[in-house]
Amino acid sequence: MLTDKPLQNERNSINCYRYLVIPDSLNQYLSTWDRSFRQPKNADNYILNEIGLYQNKIQVDDHPILPSKNNFKGNTYLLVDAVCSSATFGLAWTFQYNRLGKIIGEPTGGTKQGLNGSEMFFFTMPSSNIEIDIPLIYFYTKNVKDEGVIPDVIIKLKQKDVYDNIDPVLDYVLKSVNLK
């Protein structure tokens, strides 16, 4: 809805695993929401890559997001900060890469070098019951900086802003469009 051109995939990432088979000695301590995560991967389908992780020999290309005929023609602003991670990090990076508008705020969480996620195991330590989340996939992206999405206009939120119930990022955008 924000462009008249197809959106391109900025990541060009490779899904990697550190393992192909989970040892039975560990399996009993791990929980997850999907039994398929425990299934051994067919070694014939994977190669060990340059960073020592297993990647599928065949990578599935992402398809571009196609534009809408009735796309928005005005100025677009995306407000971000370090809380933006996972899906919101992906949104911010796609927004920036495809130049869909201005990004305002503080750098996002996450890293362009690759996010962990999608498949997880949970290990609960027996004595303390502390849970450790173990990501199973590493989305490896080559030739990018280890950083979040850096806004076009950086505005840092201060403790006083929170205390005074002021949103300097939103105020900046409202002033930019002459609404304040």
pTM: 0.74
pLDDT category, 62, cuts 50, 70, 90?
Answer: low
The identity of residue 42, as a single letter, is: N
Given a cut of 70, whether residue 95 has pLDDT beyond it is yes
Question: Residue range 126-132: average pLDDT?
Answer: 90
Section 55-79 average pLDDT? 85
Residue 49 has pLDDT above 80, yes or no: yes
Q: How far apart are CA 110 and CA 5, in angstroms?
A: 27
The C-alpha atoms of residue 25 and residue 64 are separated, in whole angstroms, by 42
CATH of domain 14-176: 3.90.226
pLDDT at 44: 95
Whole-angstrom distance, CA of residue 14 vs CA of residue 134: 19
The first and second tokens of residue 86, run together, are 């996972």
Indicate whether 150 pLDDT > 90.
yes
pLDDT-based confidence at residue 10 (cuts at 50, 70, 90): low
Can you tell me the mean pLDDT for 160-167?
96
Listed by start position, the domains of the chain span: 14-176
Percent pLDDT > 70 in the chain is 93
Q: Quick one: how far is CA 71 from the chain centroid? A: 25
For residue 83, the model assigns a pLDDT of 93
